A and B are shown apart, each in its own frame.
Chain A
Amino acid sequence: DAKTTQPPSMDCAEGRAANLPCNHSTISGNEYVYWYRQIHSQGPQYIIHGLKNNETNEMASLIITEDRKSSTLILPHATLRDTAVYYCIVRVREASGTYKYIFGTGTRLKVLA
């Protein structure tokens, strides 16, 4: 199964861009990368997803390397409310046609005032 590797923690100054890396070197060609975040012990919240191309939405940008072995989530102007644990996830297609989700251990981002 594809697995993801993330740094355990990062700090970022308020107003600056936060760049969160993820390594998924065993990802297969049709497996999507998702990013979610979790504030305290609440349920994780969706941020963004991608397959091959870079993606941007109102929350963040996702940069996927050409070989798809790694990606970076970018929060362009981090605020204190972005302090959370960020999870990089690979959605794996099983032989039966079902999908399961492989979460990384997450990066704890602390935004500093």
Chain B
Amino acid sequence: EAQVTQNPRYLITVTGKKLTVTCSQNMNHEYMSWYRQDPGLGLRQIYYSMNVEVTDKGDVPEGYKVSRKEKRNFPLILESPSPNQTSLYFCASSLWLAGGVDTQYFGPGTRLTVL
């Protein structure tokens, strides 16, 4: 089954304790992205990657890191989480069609609480 998986689905942590949220897709997609969703603000793009070893900042990259060492995986790293990073996080992937269109497939979400 074609899908995007995220782990963990729920996480409660404390300020400053490094964490990683994993994202994996089995559709051989080039484009992968991380979003955060907060009440009243919709989804905002954190980082995205057009292909292996290529990453770019979205609209809200502060406090986050990503890496793209393999095509299928795109982990989101919070080196020193803070309470303002409490949010619902989504990973997404899509084919990269230069100049063309693509459909993003979203994962189920990770609900993160930073105390």
Chain A residues in the interface with B (C-beta under 8 A): 32, 36, 41-46, 49, 87, 94, 96, 98-106
Contact = CB atoms under 8 A, between A and B. Distances in A.
Interface in B27-79: 31, 33, 35, 37, 40-45, 48, 50, 54, 56, 58-59
Contacts of B31: 99
A42 B59 contact: no
Nearest to B99: A30
A44 B104 CA distance: 9
Contacts of A99: 31, 48, 50
Interface residues of B, number: 29
Contacts of A32: 101
B44 A46 contact: no
A100 B59 contact: yes
29 contacts: A36-B104, A41-B88, A41-B111, A42-B108, A43-B106, A43-B107, A43-B109, A44-B43, A44-B104, A44-B106, A45-B106, A49-B101, A49-B103, A96-B56, A98-B48, A98-B54, A98-B56, A99-B31, A99-B48, A100-B56, A100-B58, A100-B59, A101-B45, A102-B59, A103-B43, A103-B44, A103-B45, A105-B41, A105-B42
Contacts of B90: 43-44
Contacts, number: 57
Interface of B: 4, 31, 33, 35, 37, 40-45, 48, 50, 54, 56, 58-59, 88, 90, 92, 101, 103-109, 111
Contacts of B107: 43
A105 B105 CA distance: 19
A1 to B, nearest CB: 8
B41 A100 contact: no
Query: Which 6 pairs from chain A and chain B are nearest by CB?
Result: A43-B106, A105-B42, A103-B43, A103-B42, A46-B103, A98-B56
Contacts of A98: 48, 50, 54, 56
